[in-house]
Structure 1
Amino acid sequence: MTPPPALTVRPSAPLETDGALARDTLRLMAGKTIAFAVAFALPILLVRRLSQTDFGLYKQVFLLVSTVMTVLPFGFVMSAFYFLPRHPHKQGRVAFNILLFYVILSAVASVVLLGQPAILQGIFHDPRLAALNGPIALVVFTMVGFSFVELLALARADVRTATLLIVVLNLGKSVLFLGAAFVFASFEALVYAAILHGLLQAGLLFWYLTTRFPDVWRGPSWSVMRAQLGYAMPLGTAAILTVIQADLHNYFVAHYFDAASYAIYAVGCFQLPFLSILSDSVGSVMIPAIGRLQLDGKAEDIVRLSARLTRALAAVQFPIYVFLLVAGREFIVVLFTTRYVDSWPIFAVNLTLIPLSLLTSVSDPVLRAYPAYIPWLLRLRLALLGVLIVGAWLATSHLLMLGAIVVMVAVNAADRVALAVVLGRALHVGWRDLGLLRDVGKLAVAAGLAGLATAGAHALVADGRPVIVLATSAAAFGAAYLLAVVLLGVPTADERAVVAARVGDLLRRCGVRPGRLGVGCVRGEESR
């Protein structure tokens, strides 16, 4: 298979410098860090207010909404990343096409739910969900139809506004959901809170369209729509299969087990929002950067940029993965209370997705720059989907919840490894490039050594309160990991200088002269 020919477009803009990319990434990360804190706290507070059955029903409703939000629009908004920079005089038409596509499909889904409430009971086997088909249909319409405002801002390289939108939407969601839970203590109240959040989302979207795309209300452009569909549908189909791979096991468990049991499984499938926020933030900036490199025929630069991305993500994801393998049981108990301690075996298996997400974060921007490989990816995912369906059905029909998560992780591992190998061949990655990943290997070793040290500390305090065990393990792991990273020589000279400067600034603010401690001093202070 050969890479696709270069597209005939106007000359690409100069590639952003690493500094510009870093600033955009950090700005986006700042906003998403706030979103992380909010998203992290929401389920932790909800489990303390809702019964286990109500929490399970809440997770089922928003499993459905999340799946529809990802699957139904075929990732059509991602066409904005391709068409907005290439069609500067048709940006309003591109934006209106996206709005029209999302609204029509979400309206169709809502009408189906209104007319066929038995669908909900057939999927989840709980009559309470079928009785709420009207409000749930409205949630689908508002949360799916107007769900793309921050992505549209990122496609315009409007990182500042995208960051603000992310913060406002996540804070608004948490305020509405927590208010509903603490006042009414029922999952039904959360459904109505979601409707209000969808309306807030719609208002912000219409504000952004009006202020950033003055000609947006001129209506659609059918020729541009066809081009957008041609770009988005293959990618969207691949994304749909990815979501099915990620979510299908949840539907099997929700179908064969009651809501309270599903709550246990859902907690076991808990994913740290910070990791997805980190991956999304970097990916949102890397997609256009790698796209421009591909247009300029700079495959070697794509490889080097991907290697730097892998190193940066590995420095965070490897230690989190190993630490949670050691102290994950206490992590579950502290966050979700002892009612959910049975989630630990499921959580332990699910943690495997953390290192696998490295491959996804690196592969996705490259895949979008080389769309000729998408048909191959579709064939692979269709084959893996068959394996997933059979495996998840066999596990859940025999009431083996743990089996469902094992099948899902195995299928995802096969998908991500195969995709990384194929894209590596497209970029002509060879053994000569292995040195670019030297630090990634060192980071894996550092995390492993820190895990061994932490296991010893964990054993010493294993009989204590879960929060004490977790805190002790975290302190031991943090110290051991940082020491191992330094001893293995992972930080570059520039990175060491940045850390020394920031430590020096912190010490000066605390009234300590850093030169006395050997941290570093400003010129002229050495002899004082």
Structure 2
Amino acid sequence: MSGASLKRGAITLTAANMLDFGLQFLMPIALVRLLPTSAFADYRLAWLAIGTAMAIAPFALPRSLFYFLPRHEGQARAPFVHQTLLLLLFSGACAGLALGPWNPLLPDSLRAMHSAAWFMPAFLTLWVAANLIEFLPNARGDVAGQAKTIVALAVLRVLMVGAAAWSGRADVVFGALVAYAAIKVALVLLHIGRHYGWRVFPLQMPALRTQLVYCVPFGLASALFLLRGQADQWVAAAMFPAAVFAAFSIGAVIMPVVALVRNSVSNAIAPRLSALESNKDQAGMLRLNQRANLASAFVLLPTLMLTAVLAVHIVTVVYTDKYLLAADVMRINCLALLGVAVEVSTLTVVLNQGRFLLAADACLLLVSLAAGVTGALLFGVPGAALGNVLTLAAGNAFSFWRVARVTGVPLRRLQQWGALLRILAACLGAGALAALLDAADLVRAALPEAVLIGAAFALAYAALLKLVGVLPEARALFLAPAPAAASPSSTKHD
């Protein structure tokens, strides 16, 4: 794939995932108005449990297809796809049983959730395997098909869940989610049958062992990383009432925004990174990661800054003033996410550093839980989010150190730090102006004031990007055909 093709792929997937996120963002807005407070709290608690299952049950199997499929041709790819589906169905069933109300380790609020006895086993058995459809087209190089699938499924989900929410009952919404998961599984089966056939058995044990050896360290590390990101929500669910947890979870809504941008870019470049690594092209890998981080920084840094300024407006307009407690949590999460706006985690995967990630994330999970509990005791509900601030930044720093050591490239040359710092400076300047406008309280109504502040921020950000000299780089990344970047200095091959 050329640089221009990779850029189009990244932009296409990001746009599709942004639309998906936008539509999913609308669902809680509707549900908070259509469901009683107790039913909405059940819905948020259910998604906390589902998110935890999705941190563990996939076990890096879907993403491993980005590694194995580019290295094989034709029917040699089929065993990896077939065994991935079988393992996901099994792990999903186990996750559903583990998160049922009979588990005494779960918080009381989650065990008391209405309809949990049937919903978790039924939904998770399907859902873990269903999400394979979000990887399969891209893993075989069909980025456009992947984007179309994401958009179509996002629209279908909103329609199904939205219609169910009119009943005002959480159990009806859960039933719609189970039906939606079944539709996604059907699409997975159709895709596999069309492209890989159905000769599943007997399993090819060498291929299975190879895939498991690759996945085990990354699966454990990914699970620990995602659990670390959810530790604050589990602390809030265990230490505060369900309605308070619902507000806390709203404050974490910015987390998926960053995740979808990062994951879209990572998924678009992962097959190319894998191919470069197999050809021992370390310089090409680093160039690709640098450009991906620059593109992400142009989008993520201003998003986090503006969200922090407008947190009260966002909660008031989107979720009503009943959940204003979420504003402070949202600001803390914006600070935490600054620690991963620029990352090299994709490189650690390609460089097969799963064992290092496993050890680092195991330690940081404990730190996150301890910091969350301490913060909640000292500062109340917003303090439960402090664990994210510490551990996201520390985990990313560890990854940078490890990649620098493995590649032999000095940390100061691992990224285009000068350009990244200038982008951050532009964001800080625009954020200061936005904060002054917010404090001036020029408009009483929350929505018009938020629009005014957002417009002023956007204009100031663009002007400051030009002032600090990085606007041409933004145009090159997003508008012009991707140029061949210079090789990082002092890059050496192992």
**Same fold by TM-score, threshold 0.5 exceeded?**
yes
- Note the C-alpha offset of 1:458: 2.1
From 410, 424, 448, the equivalent of 2:390 is 410
- Note the C-alpha offset of 1:500: 11
From 445, 455, 458, the equivalent of 1:478 is 458
- 2:30 is aligned with 1:45: yes
Cα distance change on mapping 1:257 and 1:493 into 2, 3 Å: closer
Decide whether the 8 Å contact of 1:109 with 1:137 is kept in 2. Answer: yes
Residue by residue, what CA displacement relative to the aligned partner does 1:163-210 show, whole Å, maximum 9, x if unpaired? 12211221121111111112x112222211111111111111111111
- Note the C-alpha offset of 1:264: 1.0
Secondary structure in structure 2 of the residue aligned to 1:146: helix
Question: Take 2:451 and 2:316, find their aligned partners in 1: how far apart are those partners?
Answer: 13
- Which residue in the other structure is 2:358 paired with? 378
- Note the C-alpha offset of 1:128: 4.0
Decide whether the 8 Å contact of 1:326 with 1:454 is kept in 2. Answer: yes
The structure with the larger Rg is 1
- Note the C-alpha offset of 1:347: 0.9
- Note the C-alpha offset of 1:424: 2.4
Decide whether the 8 Å contact of 2:101 with 2:112 is kept in 1. Answer: no
Decide whether the 8 Å contact of 2:192 with 2:198 is kept in 1. Answer: no
- Which residue in the other structure is 1:102 paired with? 88
- Which residue in the other structure is 1:4 paired with? none
Cα distance change on mapping 1:451 and 1:170 into 2, 3 Å: same
**Amino-acid identity (%):** 22
- Note the C-alpha offset of 1:407: 1.9
Question: Take 1:47 and 1:169, find their aligned partners in 2: how far apart are those partners?
Answer: 22
- Which residue in the other structure is 1:449 paired with? 429
Decide whether the 8 Å contact of 2:340 with 2:393 is kept in 1. Answer: no
Question: Take 2:14 and 2:373, find their aligned partners in 1: how far apart are those partners?
Answer: 39
- Which residue in the other structure is 1:292 paired with? 275
Question: Take 2:210 and 2:261, find their aligned partners in 1: how far apart are those partners?
Answer: 31
Cα distance change on mapping 1:345 and 1:94 into 2, 3 Å: same
Cα distance change on mapping 1:249 and 1:460 into 2, 3 Å: closer
- Which residue in the other structure is 2:222 paired with? 239
Cα distance change on mapping 1:271 and 1:325 into 2, 3 Å: closer
Question: Take 1:418 and 1:231, find their aligned partners in 2: how far apart are those partners?
Answer: 21
Which range moved further: 201-210 or 16-25?
16-25
- 2:61 is aligned with 1:76: yes
- Note the C-alpha offset of 1:240: 0.7
Mind listing any 5+ residue stretches in structure 1 that lack a counterpart?
1-15, 502-528
For residues 214-363 of structure 1, the aligned pairs below 5 Å read 214-271=197-254, 273-359=256-342, 362-363=343-344
Cα distance change on mapping 1:201 and 1:248 into 2, 3 Å: same
Residue by residue, what CA displacement relative to the aligned partner does 1:102-125 show, whole Å, maximum 9, x if unpaired? 111222333455xx6322784243
Which range moved further: 335-344 or 487-496?
487-496
Question: Take 2:314 and 2:79, find their aligned partners in 1: how far apart are those partners?
Answer: 48
From 368, 371, 379, the equivalent of 1:391 is 371
Cα distance change on mapping 1:387 and 1:495 into 2, 3 Å: closer
Residue by residue, what CA displacement relative to the aligned partner does 1:273-332 show, whole Å, maximum 9, x if unpaired? 443322222101221222222223332332222221121111111111222222221122
Cα distance change on mapping 1:473 and 1:95 into 2, 3 Å: same
- Which residue in the other structure is 1:93 paired with? 79
- 2:126 is aligned with 1:142: yes
- Which residue in the other structure is 1:7 paired with? none
For residues 98-247 of structure 1, the aligned pairs below 5 Å read 98-112=84-98, 117-119=101-103, 122-125=106-109, 128-129=112-113, 131-182=115-166, 184-247=167-230
Question: Take 1:148 and 1:164, find their aligned partners in 2: how far apart are those partners?
Answer: 15
- Which residue in the other structure is 2:486 paired with? none
- 2:51 is aligned with 1:66: yes
Total equivalences in the alignment: 480
Which range moved further: 432-441 or 421-430?
432-441
Decide whether the 8 Å contact of 1:93 with 1:215 is kept in 2. Answer: no
Question: Take 1:381 and 1:393, find their aligned partners in 2: how far apart are those partners?
Answer: 18
Mind listing any 5+ residue stretches in structure 2 that lack a counterpart?
482-494
Decide whether the 8 Å contact of 1:40 with 1:272 is kept in 2. Answer: no
Cα distance change on mapping 1:254 and 1:431 into 2, 3 Å: closer
Secondary structure in structure 1 of the residue aligned to 2:131: coil
- Note the C-alpha offset of 1:397: 6.3
- Counterpart code for 1:251: W
Secondary structure in structure 2 of the residue aligned to 1:129: coil
Residue by residue, what CA displacement relative to the aligned partner does 1:475-516 show, whole Å, maximum 9, x if unpaired? 111111111111222122893799699xxxxxxxxxxxxxxx
Decide whether the 8 Å contact of 2:377 with 2:383 is kept in 1. Answer: no
- Counterpart code for 1:265: F
Question: Take 1:217 and 1:483, find their aligned partners in 2: how far apart are those partners?
Answer: 58
Question: Take 2:390 and 2:477, find their aligned partners in 1: how far apart are those partners?
Answer: 42
Which range moved further: 454-463 or 382-391?
454-463
- Note the C-alpha offset of 1:395: 4.4
Decide whether the 8 Å contact of 1:67 with 1:247 is kept in 2. Answer: yes
Question: Take 1:415 and 1:130, find their aligned partners in 2: how far apart are those partners?
Answer: 37
Secondary structure in structure 2 of the residue aligned to 1:352: helix
- Which residue in the other structure is 2:487 paired with? none
- Note the C-alpha offset of 1:29: 2.7
- Note the C-alpha offset of 1:472: 1.3
- Counterpart code for 2:132: F
- Note the C-alpha offset of 1:130: 6.2
Question: Take 2:178 and 2:169, find their aligned partners in 1: how far apart are those partners?
Answer: 15
From 361, 365, 370, the equivalent of 2:346 is 365
Decide whether the 8 Å contact of 1:291 with 1:368 is kept in 2. Answer: no
Residue by residue, what CA displacement relative to the aligned partner does 1:220-254 show, whole Å, maximum 9, x if unpaired? 32221111100011100100110110112212211
Question: Take 1:292 and 1:227, find their aligned partners in 2: how far apart are those partners?
Answer: 18
Q: What's the C-alpha RMSD, in Å, of the aligned pairs?
A: 2.5
Question: Take 2:135 and 2:298, find their aligned partners in 1: how far apart are those partners?
Answer: 26
Decide whether the 8 Å contact of 1:177 with 1:194 is kept in 2. Answer: yes
Decide whether the 8 Å contact of 1:34 with 1:167 is kept in 2. Answer: yes
